[in-house]
Structure 1
Amino acid sequence: MISVIKKILGKFFPPKPKASDVVWQQRWSDILQKKVAFYRVLNAQDKALFHQRVLLFLETTAIEAGQFEVTEEDALLVAASAIIPVWGFPNWHYFNLKAVYLLPSSFNDQFECGKPDSNISGMVGTGPFTGKMALSRPHLYEGFENSRDKQNVGIHEFVHLVDMADGDCDGFPERLKEFQFSIPWFDLVEKKIEEIDSNKSNIRDYGATNRAEFLAVASEYFFERPRMLQEKHPKLFAALTEFYKQDVMAIAEDVRVRKNSPCPCGSGKKYKRCCLPKE
Structure 2
Amino acid sequence: MPILIVTLLALLLVAWFIGQPRWVAWRRGKAQADAFPPEWRRILRRRVPGVALLPADLQLQLKKHIQVFLAEKAFIGCKGQAITDEVRVTIAAQACLLLLNRPGDYYPALRQILVYPSAFLVAHEQVDGAGVVQSRRDLRSGESWSQGQVILAWDDTLRGAADPHDGWNVVIHEFAHQLDSQTGLTNGAPDLGQAERYAAWSEVMQSAYDDLCDATDAMDAGGPAPFLDPYGATDPAEFFAVVTEVFFERPRALSVEHPALYRELSRFYRLHPASW
1: CA distance between counterparts of 2:208 and 2:114?
Answer: 34
Matched-pair identity in %: 27
Query: Any gaps of 5 or more consecutive residues in structure 1?
Result: 1-14, 252-279
| Structure 2 residue 163 is matched with structure 1 residue 141 | no
Distance apart, 1:138 and its partner CA: 0.4
What is the RMSD of the two structures over their aligned residues, measured on CA atoms?
Answer: 2.4
Aligned counterpart in structure 2 of residue 188 of structure 1, from 192, 202, 208: 208
Residue 78 of structure 1 and its aligned partner are, at CA, apart by: 1.3
Q: Could you say which residue in structure 1 is the equivalent of 2:197? A: 179
Return the TM-score normalized by structure 1: 0.75
Q: Distance in 1 between matches of 2:72 and 2:113?
A: 11
Q: Which residue of 1 aligns with 2:44?
A: 32
Written as runs of structure 1 = structure 2, the 5 A alignment for 1:162-241 is: 162-175=179-192, 177-183=195-201, 184-185=203-204, 186-199=206-219, 201-241=226-266
Residue 213 of structure 2 aligns with an amino acid whose one-letter code is I
Q: Structure 1 residue 41: deviation in Å?
A: 2.6
Q: CA deviation at 1:117?
A: 4.5
Q: Which residue of 1 aligns with 2:98?
A: 85
Q: Distance in 1 between matches of 2:213 and 2:51?
A: 31
Give the aligned residue type for 2:161. F
SS in 2 for 1:63: strand
Q: CA, structure 1 residues 218+102, in 2 after alignment: closer, same or farther (shift >3 Å)? A: same
Is the deviation greater in 94-103 or in 29-38?
29-38
- Is residue 2:135 matched to residue 1:122? no
1:187 corresponds to which letter in structure 2? S
Return closer, same or farther for 1:106/1:178 CA change in 2, 3 Å cut-off: farther
Which portions of structure 1, spanning 4 or more consecutive aligned residues, are displaced by more than 4 angstroms? none
Letter in 2 for 1:230: S
Higher strand residue share: 2
Measure, in 2, the Cα distance between the counterparts of 1:49 and 1:241: 18
Q: Which runs of 5+ in 2 are unaligned?
A: 1-22, 125-135
Question: CA, structure 1 residues 25+149, in 2 after alignment: closer, same or farther (shift >3 Å)?
Answer: same
Query: What amino acid sits opposite 2:197 in the alignment?
Result: F
- What TM-score, normalized by structure 2, do the two folds share? 0.75
Pairs aligned (count): 230
Aligned equivalents of 2:49, 2:216: Cα separation in 1: 27
